[in-house]
Amino acid sequence: MRDESRKTGYADSISFPGTETEIMEILKFCKNENRKVTIQGARTGITAGAVPQGGHILNLTSMNRIEGLRYDSENDVFYITVQPGVLLADLRKAILHKDFETDGWQEHSLKALEIMKNSGAYFFPPDPTETSASIGGMVACNASGARSYRYGPTRNYIEGLRVVLPDGSALSLRRGKHKANGHNFRLVADTGRVIEGKFPEYTIPDIKNASGYYIRKDMDLIDLFIGSEGTLGIITQIELRLIKEPSEIWGLMFFFNKEDFAIEFVKALRKNKSAKSHIKTNDGSGTAEFSPAAIEYFNGDALKLLMDQKETNAAFSNIPYVDKRFNSAVYVEIHGDNEDEAMESMGEALERAERCGGCEPDTWVADTPQLMENMKLFRHAVPEVVNLLVDQLRRNDPNITKLGTDMAVPDDMLEEVMQMYRADLNHEGFNSVMFGHIGDNHIHVNILPKSIEEYEKGKELYKKWAKRVLDSGGTVAAEHGIGKLKVDFLRMMYGQGGIDGMKSIRKTFDPDSKLNEGNLF
C-alpha cells in the first residue's frame, strides 16, 4: 500500500465506510482490538501520510457525496457541503455545470441551487497539481497550489467541519463560533465530553506554510484541524466557501536565456503589487489591480527533461516545443473581470518581462479555455515525468522514494536560496529539476538519484538546505505537509519543545495516539 511518495506500507485490515455512523463503529472495533488507524483518501500526497504502519486502514473514498448548498444573500456567497472523499475534479465539474446529485438534499439546499443556476460562475480556488486529490485530504494538509499566490491555501475557504474523535465522539466546528482564549482552548463534543488544554507558544512563519499544527493567540479553533494531517480526528463533513469566478482566465509563458533574468522578472511582477492600472471597462471607466493569480517557475533542467520526454515518450509528444536557447521559464496566470482588464494585465506583464530580458514573440499566450488546458498540460508535465522516472529508479532499488523539497522563504531570501540550490546541485553532480511556486518563494527541487548512495546524499543535502531555510525565517513544508517523511525537518523547525507541545495537543484529542501513527512525530 503506497501513496504518491512511493513509500510502501502494510495493514492488517481495511474498511470503506459510507457514513459517519459507520466510522464510529469502526473506531470502537479498533479500540477493542487495540489497533492503530491510518486514514486514507485519494492517496495523492507525497509525504507518505496515508501509508499505513500496520493496524487498520480507514479509507474514505466511499464518502464521496456533495450533501448540499447554502446561500448567504446578505453577502452574495455560496457555501457547499461535501463528504471528505469527494474529488477535487468532481467538485469542480459539478460547480462549473451547476449539476449536482440532489437526492437527500434539504429544501434550503434546493432553493440555493436554483439561485446558483440563475447566478454567474463560482469556483473553489485551491488548485493542487493533482486534481484527483480528495477534499478531505486537501483539508488535512491545508493544500494549496499555483493560485495560492493570489487566493491563499485551502484554509481560507473552510467554513465548517465535522470531526469524529478516536473515542467515537464528534465535534461540529463553525468558523467564528469557537475561539481560543489566548492560548487556552475548550471544546465540547456531542457526547458532552469536554476537551480543553493550553496551546504551546511557538511561532509560525508568516509565509506560505503547512508545517505542524496551526497555533496562534486567540485563534479560531477550526484552524487547528486544518493541516493536522489526520492526527487529531477524522474529518467527516466539510463546508466550503465558493467565490465568484473571473470571466477571463489567461495564461502566459515567458522564456529567458538566463535564470537570473527569470528571477528579476519574478521580482518585477511582485513589485508594487497593489498599485492600480487604469483600464477601459465596459462603460469606459474604472480601475483594476495588476495582481497575477499564479507565478510559476521552470529551470533549464526541467525544460530539458520535458523536451527529452517529448522526443522519446509518446505520452508527452503533444507538449509544445521549447527552443534550446532558453534555460528558464516563468508562467503567469491572469484573472480578469472582463477582456479589457485581462488585456491590460497581459500588457503590463509583457512590459515587465521585456525589461528583464524577455521577448514578446517568444511568449506563449493562452486566452481561450482550450489553450489554457494545453498550458496546464505543460505545467503539470514536469511532476508527472519526475514520478515516472522515480518509478523506474525504484525497479533497481525499492528503498528509493520521491526526493523533493517543499521549502519556502521570505521574499528577500529568494535569490540567495536559488543560488544555494544551484551551487550545491552542480557541486554534487545530481540529476535534478527545479520548478514550482516562485511567486511564494516556494520552489520544488527534485533530485533523481542514480543509486541508493546518491539518494542518501540527496537526503543529507536537503537537511543542509532546511537548516539554511529555517535560519532565514522559512518553512520546511509550504504545501505538502510533513507526513512520515519529514518528521526530522519538523523537529528542526520548532525544536523539541515545540514538538512536545504539539504532542500534548494530540494527547488531548487522541490519548492513545491511535490515529495516523508516524505522521508529524
Instruction: With cut-offs at 50, 70 and 90, classify the pLDDT of residue 279.
Output: very low
DSSP secondary structure letter of residue 246: P
For residues 170-197, one letter each, b for 16 or more C-beta atoms within 10 angstroms of the residue's C-beta and e for the rest, the string is bbebebeebebeebebebebeeeeebee
> Which amino acid is residue 84, in one-letter code?
P
CA dihedral (347, 353, 359, 361) positive or negative: negative
**What band does 288 get if pLDDT is binned at 50, 70 and 90?**
low
Taking phi first (over 0 means left), then psi (-120 to 50 degrees means alpha), and beta for anything else, what does residue 418 get?
alpha
pTM: 0.93
Place of cell 512525530: 521
C-alpha cell at 449: 538519484
At 277, the pLDDT band (50, 70, 90 cuts) reads very low
How far apart, in whole angstroms, are the C-alpha atoms of residue 512 and residue 514? Answer: 5
Identify the bridge partners of residue 241 per DSSP, sorted by sequence position.
79
| Percent of the chain residues topping a pLDDT of 70 | 97
Q: How many helices (H) and strands (E) does the chain have?
A: 13, 19
- Using the structure block, give the residue that is written with the C-alpha cell 522559512: 474
96-105 confidence digits (pLDDT tens) = 999 999 999 9
Contact 144, 208 (CB under 8 A): yes
Residue 5: predicted pLDDT? 84
**Residue with the larger pLDDT of the pair 278 and 49:** 49
Model confidence at 344: pLDDT above 90: yes
Q: How far apart are the first and last CA of the chain?
A: 21
User: 281 pLDDT exceeds 70?
Assistant: no
pLDDT tens across 11-24, in order? 999 999 999 999 99
Q: Kindly state the average pLDDT of the residues 115-135.
A: 95
Query: In the prediction, which pLDDT does 396 show?
Result: 87
Q: Are 342 and 289 in contact (CB under 8 A)?
A: no
The whole-angstrom separation of Cα 428 and Cα 152 is 35
Burial profile 310-343: b = 16 or more Cβ within 10 angstroms, e = fewer = beeeeebeebeebeeebbbbbbbbbbbbbebbbb
Which H or E run contains 170? strand 170-174
* pLDDT tens by residue, 30-88: 999 999 999 999 999 989 999 999 999 999 999 999 999 999 999 999 999 999 999 99
Query: What is the band of 287 on the pLDDT scale with cuts at 50, 70, 90?
Result: low
Task: Count Cβ atoms below 10 Å from residue 355 Cβ, excluding itself.
Answer: 11
pLDDT at residue 280, rounded to an integer: 39
